[in-house]
Amino acid sequence: MKIKLLFLFLLVSLITFAKNSKLWVTSVEEAIKIAGKSNKDILVDFTGSDWCGWCIRLDKEVFSTEKWDKEASKKFVFVEIDFPQKKQLSPEQKEYNAKLQSEYQVQGYPTIILLDSKGKPYAITGFQEGGVDNYLKHLDSLSLRKKEKDDSLSKIKTSKKNEEKIKILDDLINKLNSWEIAKFYPELKEQIIALDNDNKFGFKSKYLAEITLFYYEKNDANKYDEYFTELKKVDEKKANGIITKIELSQIYNNDIVYKRWKEANEKLEKLIAQNPEGDVGQEIYFYLGIIQYYLTNIDKCIEYFEKAISLSPDSQLVSVIEENMSFVKEEKNKNKK
């Protein structure tokens, strides 16, 4: 749910470059069947083939080249999940593509997801400068992540001590988070919750909060209720934080997305009255800052951005907040002249 005030538009020729259709399929399920027989990984390309500038460049410079067909096809089964504006897809393919986009939480194009032969993601990337040679090297480096992941999973299976399993699991989840693919491995968080059942190491409460929110976003009411009830027993403060985060999500989807600034501002001010802390508090103040910008309250916008940073200075969101704050300050200084 990141919002940026600046948008960069790339002007490119909308000439499309065709992939070798013999090497690309349009279904992950079909790719898994092929990969299982050929012992290959799977590369899924979420693209807007006839309108997205970066997608067109990626096709031209990489996916439509002979070297790509020759070299990459030795390691990957290719899947194209297309969202064209001019080209016509069958209703069934459109529905399938939309379902897959939701399942993999794809928010921009091109998004390239690497899967193992069983269909489990191990890397996410996009366009890269440098043409086909650089892209092949880039994929080779990403492929090493699969081995890291699999090695950790093997250690968990062979370890006989719960404490050791918990440490390996926590390290692996943190690594998957840094690769932006932890959302595809909820079972690891459920495993660490079970292993730290008495919350001796603090991981049960930590991951209960995350898995509760995961099942809320998945609309799995039974799982959400199960984990939320357990979280309240272990850490009521974190359980209340989950409620606040859900309310924040609803405000974002119902008001901020539709630029209903005054309505969103009123609801968010009620949330800050609860003195939210940490990452949740940071998100609330960040959105309040964005809203103040659009309501032309520039000083208040900067104040809220600074408050947001102070609540969780080491979070991944800080760089986004700082970028927006820099833009607002520059604009403010220009208006003074």
- Residue 20's pLDDT is what? 80
Q: What is the DSSP string of 271-285?
A: HHTT---HHHHHHHH
Q: What is the pLDDT of residues 266-278, one digit of tens each?
A: 999 999 998 998 9
DSSP 102: H
Q: What percent of the chain has pLDDT over 70?
A: 94
- Residue 13's pLDDT is what? 39
Q: What percent of the chain has pLDDT over 90?
A: 88
What is the C-alpha separation between 209 and 238, in angstroms, rounded?
7
Q: Is the pLDDT of residue 72 over 60?
A: yes
Per-chain mean pLDDT for the chain: 92
Q: Is the pLDDT of residue 103 over 90?
A: yes
Q: What is the pLDDT of residues 169-227, one digit of tens each?
A: 999 999 999 999 999 999 999 999 999 999 999 999 999 999 999 999 899 999 999 99
Q: What is the pLDDT of residues 88-100, one digit of tens each?
A: 999 999 999 999 9
What count of other Cβ atoms lies within 10 Å of the Cβ of residue 311?
19
Whole-structure pTM value: 0.79
Q: What is the pLDDT of residues 220-247, one digit of tens each?
A: 999 999 999 999 999 998 899 899 999 9
